[in-house]
Chain A
Amino acid sequence: MGYSYQQQIGLPSPQRRAVAGKDLAPAMPLLDVTDLTVSLTAGGRTAAIVEQLSLRLERGKCLGIVGESGSGKSTAAMAIMGLLTDGPLQVSGQILFDGANLAQMRPAEFRKLRGTGIAMIFQDPMSSLNPVMRIGDQIVECLQAHRRLTKSSARGKAAQALARVGMPDPEGMMHRYPHQLSGGQRQRVMIAMAIVFEPKLLIADEPTTALDLTIQAQILQLLKKLSRELNMALVLITHDLGVVAGMSDEVIVLYSGRDVERGPTQEVLENPQHPYTRGLLGAHPSMDGECGRLAPIAGSPPAIWQRPSGCAFRDRCPAAIDDCATVKPQHVAMPQQAHHVACLLHATPPQAKETA
């Protein structure tokens, strides 16, 4: 092949490429992940939970990562946060954050970065908050872990953070316990804690899945507002294509640990190229238009030890061909800028490639 895997995936946006072409120093992306692989070895076998994931994210932008349970989306986020280093999983690949290689960072250094540079919020705010500690004390604890602050100035900052996330009566809230708050309020507390140091990157792992639609709308609006105000990049992990549609600039669709399709959100959702993305869009009933019979994807996602060879989706794919069993599909750029798909149906046949 004439070009490397890196060149095929994660291409910069057209504007940036133009700048690079003029030999000006291209702006470094805030987050630049190359070939991130997280694998699990057990009983002499190795399986990849996340396989060769590459992504780039600019300051202030939002990247959506969509996938079903078990697709590896949370594991990828944990790997970026450096939370998997002591566990049974092997992490490889390069993670550049603001120029620093996170994969080689010492634990003490990384701990300083977490919270101040990169922050993360999780799906279930109740299990992320300490149930026997007042909200205010939890935020103060977080503040004092990173900065030398007096109790009173830390409390002032905590109240400011709570006000910033739209909490009514921030001073009063400081004295409450997590169980006294509603789900939406707890998620606001989590967000307040995450943005207290104005991080450059916020990873939100299913931040609204446990919430009602009306509260989900509030939280998404809040994340959007904060990202704009703080010029904070956002990685939004979700299973809901609708959430991504309204929030992210770019989207990556994960299936069985592999990035099967990526591109500008609008382009991917309006013009999906991978059979899995198409399947996902077809399987969900629409809010408008006719209610015909739904077209489900057959079967269910494979367990990590039972992933088929070749393309992991081939067992469930309506368009699978013989080659799918043997060839691992690589990313192919679609004619539309920055839209990439990993599917043999879109790959140039090998003969044609050789002549080209």
Chain B
Amino acid sequence: MSQSSHPALEIRDLSVEFRASANRGLFEKPATFKALSGISLDIRQGEVMGLIGESGSGKTTLGKAIVGLTETSTGSICIKGQHVDPARAAGRRALARLVQMVFQDPYASLHPRKIIGQTLSEPFTIQGTASRADLRSRVRSLLQRVGLSPEHAARYPQHFSGGQRQRIAIARAIANEPPVIIADEPVSALDVSVQAQILNLLEDLRKEQNMAMLFISHDLSVVRHLCQRIAVMYLGRIVEIGAAKEMTAAPAHPYTTALLSAAPRVKARNRVQAAPIVLSGDVPSHAAIPSGCPFHTRCWLYEQKGCPARCRTEMPRLETLPGGRQAACFFPEEAATPARSPAAACV
């Protein structure tokens, strides 16, 4: 891969707006709220980008917008330098060649009345990438690639365990070797002992096929393990983005610090000794995003700094910090070290 080549996935200034229909008068204009605002993101070939944030932060909406399952308001999406427009019906089939999605729940994402062979033939027949004669052998080799045996093609989804179903869902996504895969919480419905199998499989496929992956998860340890870079979302915005190891060692946004501190740790030596940072309250509603920095209503750093007015009035932009990391905070240098719990420095 040469440096001059385009990133596999290039998102510029993407916004998604939803209309709220509830609680309005007959002649009132429907309120709109921004589920995503101004998302810009590059994923290189062969790179896994982790996307983390609480529910309602817009992780899944971003994934859906990329594969064309949600209408976008503004912004552009380019895959391998090619501008894609999911809104055009004619573009949908072409888009399916470029990007595929793996969903969270493998019990819901496979057709219960189709045998696995049928499910896995569809990508080839729809895209016309395999002749009828080849179809069987393509499905067989696909099953083998994800660690299942070719005989499984004749069975129904109900015959498989959760981990096996997720392998089938992954097989379907990679059938036509798309350059980009969106994996939306692909392991969170699985038992711990099975999770690792799927994570290893994704890692192998990434290496073999050199594909780019957007890996959506709420599990920080999984994201840190699998991803080269991580983007942290809060209320529809990216608040921090950077290399996985560096970010988890020293976050540059107080929200990232709070997420890291909330992650349960098994080993005592890795656990934060003092009280972890517990954010108060819930994520605010998208319909009433706080002024200034959207995080200031729950921010521990804002409190620690004596509630600077700037946080309430001015929206921090995603700025590049020394080292190439980007964070949307006015005080990125202080975000890694909460004063009230000194032991948190080991986060």
Contacts and interface: CB of A to CB of B under 8 A. Distances in A.
A294 B225 contact: yes
Contact of B262 (A214, A294, A296): A214
Contacts of A316: 193
Given A286-B221, A294-B200, A300-B161, A245 B268 contact: yes
Contacts of B199: 285, 294, 296
A213 B221 contact: no
Contact of A184 (B162, B191, B260, B282): B282
A214 B279 contact: yes
B54 A214 contact: yes
Interface string B245-288: 10010000000001111111111101100001011111000000
A212 B55 contact: yes
Contacts of A68: 191-193
B339 interface: no
Interface string A246-264: 1000000000000000000
A281 interface: yes
A242 B162 contact: no
Contact of B196 (A241, A245, A295): A295
B222 A285 contact: yes
Nearest to A295: B196
A214 B258 contact: yes
Nearest to A298: B197
A231 interface: no
Interface of chain A: mostly helix, strand, loop or mixed = helix
B276 A296 contact: no
Interface in A200-236: 212-218, 221
B220 interface: yes
A217 B300 CA distance: 15
A316 B196 CA distance: 14
A283 interface: yes
A266 interface: yes
B54 A286 contact: no
A213 B268 contact: no
Contact of B191 (A213, A218, A270, A301): A301
B218 interface: yes
B193 A296 contact: yes
A216 B220 CA distance: 14
B263 A213 contact: yes
Contact of A242 (B203, B225, B265, B280): B265
A276 to B, nearest CB: 8
Contacts of B278: 214, 217-218, 221
A339 to B, nearest CB: 16
Nearest to A70: B191
Contacts of A185: 282
Nearest to A285: B225
Nearest to B245: A291
B76 interface: no
B195 interface: yes
Category for how many chain A residues contact B: 35 or more
A346 to B, nearest CB: 21
B224 interface: yes
B192 A284 contact: yes
B200 to A, nearest CB: 6
A245 B162 CA distance: 26
Contacts of A241: 192, 266
Nearest to A303: B161
Interface in A30-48: none
Contacts of B276: 217
Contact of B264 (A182, A245, A300): A245
A279 B196 CA distance: 10
Given A217-B276, A296-B193, A285 B221 contact: yes
B63 interface: no
B268 A212 contact: no
B194 interface: yes
Contacts of B196: 282-285, 294-297
A287 interface: yes
A288 interface: yes
B58 interface: no
Contacts of A217: 261-262, 276, 278-279
Contacts of B267: 245, 269-270, 286
Nearest to A215: B282
Contacts of A118: none
Given A243-B264, A283-B193, A296-B194, A182 B282 contact: yes
Contacts of B195: 283-284, 296
A239 interface: yes
A301 B261 CA distance: 31
B265 A287 contact: yes
Contacts of B271: 245-246
Contacts of B266: 241-242, 245, 269, 281, 284, 286
Interface in B206-234: 218, 220-222, 224-226
Most A Cβ at <10 Å: residue of B225, B261, B268, B279:
B225
Interface in A167-217: 168, 182-185, 212-217
Contacts of A297: 193-194, 196
Most A Cβ at <10 Å: residue of B192, B260, B282:
B192
Given A217-B278, A242-B263, A245-B264, A286 B270 contact: yes
Contacts of B220: 213, 287
Contacts of A296: 193-197, 199-200
B86 interface: no
Most B Cβ at <10 Å: residue of A182, A266, A269, A294:
A294
B224 A270 contact: no
Given A242-B263, A242-B265, A294-B199, A288 B270 contact: yes
Interface string B106-127: 0000000000000000000000
10 contacts: A68-B191, A217-B276, A217-B279, A284-B221, A285-B199, A285-B225, A286-B270, A293-B203, A296-B193, A296-B200
Given A185-B282, A217-B262, A295-B196, 7 more contacts: A217-B276, A241-B266, A269-B266, A283-B195, A283-B196, A287-B220, A287-B224
Interface of A: 68-69, 168, 182-185, 212-218, 221, 239-243, 245-246, 266, 269-270, 279-288, 291, 293-297, 300-301, 316
